[in-house]
Amino acid sequence: MTDRPEINKQNIETLLETRFVKVYDLQYAPGKHYYDATRRDKEELVAIKSDAEFRTMAPDAVTCILIVESETDGPRLYMQYEYRYPTGQYLLSPPAGLIDRDDRDREDALEITARREIFEETGITVRDTDRLFVVDPLVFSSPGLTDECNALVCAVVSQDDENSFSQKGAVGSERFDGYVLLTREEAAEVLRNGRDANGNFYSIYTWVGLIYFVSGLWEK
């Protein structure tokens, strides 16, 4: 493997530190600087982890691929319109949320987070008779800018009554403006267009949820 720059904790400078985001200067060589926007404290930065720590690290959050099955309509992909402050728009988005600090060391932390976020954001309870499984334990969002990372968890729930769906569980800065249940054909059309039904762009996590649903990988 090609030699890579080694980033040591003592060569990291804190440029910004707030409750929700921090910015660090990763000095990877004399006079060489790279900047990392992150939720993590300096001791938890991915850049300073050993190879073994890197391969066993926990993600920051969980993104949920939520598939609703009903006897009348078959499988449909649940997507919601969530306000994303950096874009100033309600974007087509999957349910997602941060892993609670108290849950991080639990073996089922990803599943616990998925169940909680799905219920809070959609009103849907993932029952023991439903399928809930990890698709990918950790994917990076934009590693050229941040070390933030999410796990991907799929929930396949049996639900015939949409009256139980609710977005009233929003907490903090969360804002929602409805949801859609996409058939495979509709999800494929969103993929082909690269835009939602309103003509707006969407995030890479939305794309991942769409392609996973359309591909049928969740059925195997």
Quick: pLDDT tens for 138-154: 999 999 999 999 999 99
Q: How far apart are CA 128 and CA 133, in angstroms?
A: 12
Within the chain, strands assigned E span 12-17, 22-29, 32-38, 61-70, 74-84, 89-93, 96-98, 131-140, 149-158, 176-182
Per-residue DSSP letter, 2: -
Per-residue pLDDT reduced to its tens digit, 99-114: 998 998 899 999 999 9
Residue 24 CA from chain centroid, whole number? 23
CA-wise closest residue to 136 among 148, 118, 154: 154
Token pair listed for 210: 């769409």
Do residues 83 and 90 lie in contact, with contact meaning Cβ atoms separated by under 8 Å?
yes
pLDDT of 164 over the 90 cut: no
Mean pLDDT of the chain: 95
**Mean pLDDT to the nearest integer, 54-80:** 96
Looking at residue 159, what is its pLDDT?
87
* Beta-carbon count within 10 A of 45 CB: 18
Alpha helices in the chain (DSSP H): 51-56, 109-122, 184-193, 204-215
pLDDT of residue 1: 58
**CA atoms lying within 13 Å on the CB side of residue 97:** 25
Say if residue 72's pLDDT is above 70.
Answer: yes
- The domains located in the chain, with CATH, are 9-50 (no CATH), 61-219 (3.90.79.10)
DSSP 100: P
Contacts of 34 (CB under 8 A, 6+ apart): 25, 26, 28
Residue 153 backbone phi and psi in degrees, to 5: -125, 135
CA distance 48 to 12: 9
Lookup: tokens for 205:
């996590």
pLDDT > 90 fraction of the chain, expressed in percent and rounded: 85
Q: Distance (Å, rounded) from C-alpha 162 to C-alpha 165?
A: 5
What pLDDT, on the 0 to 100 scale, is given for residue 220? 79
Beta bridge mates, 56: none
The tens digit of pLDDT for each residue in 192-205 reads 999 999 999 999 99
Does the pLDDT value for residue 48 go beyond 90? yes
Q: What is the mean pLDDT of residues 82-105?
A: 95
* pLDDT at res. 172: 83
**pLDDT tens digit sequence for 173-185:** 899 999 999 999 9
